[in-house]
Structure 1
């Protein structure tokens, strides 16, 4: 079977898009679990059990290699009455930052 260069290019593009979608879903689940655990440790509740991707960019890691850095936002509550925001930054497969905004304690 013979594939033209155009067909190979389209297959490569399709495979790249599929990989990117799969990698984003895996990264989002990793951050969601980390945010849930962090909130439990601090005695607050992650709201809606979800995180939202707000930014993706290429950035060098500590070893100088370029990898994707994804920034996520989420909401939590400490009293059940007010919503507060949190931020999680994933660089490659490592969570670089997980921060909650100032909030009231119950």
Structure 2
């Protein structure tokens, strides 16, 4: 096996590991959105989160990290869709935010 062949195999393995990690973070983003929605008393719609942006950022834990922004929709009383977001810095959950929403009036 030559050095160029080893380099290609190494790059393919690194790409596969990156895709594997990205898929796992997507599942964690869904879990974080669902848990936060339940805690706030709202309903997560469509049972999904959507990747909106990926970028490199400076990290407190390492030199740089891949920041992933996921978006989801939720509802409070069923009449309006609101947006929420989940942000991961590398493998760490950074924040979960919900758009301001109205609650049921008694």
TM-score (norm 2): 0.88
Matching residue of 1:44? 42
Matching residue of 1:103? 101
Measured in 1, the distance between the counterparts of 2:30 and 2:59 equals 22
Task: Name segments (4+ residues, structure 1) moved above 3 Å.
Answer: none
Aligned-partner SS, 2:38: helix
Aligned-partner SS, 2:87: strand
Residues 1:70 and 2:68 aligned together: yes
Measured in 1, the distance between the counterparts of 2:29 and 2:3 equals 39
Superposed, 1:9-88 pairs within 5 Å as: 9-63=7-61, 65-88=63-86
Q: CA RMSD in A?
A: 1.4
Measured in 2, the distance between the counterparts of 1:63 and 1:37 equals 25
Aligned-partner SS, 1:104: coil
Measured in 2, the distance between the counterparts of 1:64 and 1:16 equals 19
Structure 2, unmatched stretches of 5+, are none
Q: Would you say how many aligned residue pairs link Structure 1 and Structure 2?
A: 104
TM-score (norm 1): 0.88
Measured in 1, the distance between the counterparts of 2:8 and 2:79 equals 51
Residues 1:94 and 2:101 aligned together: no
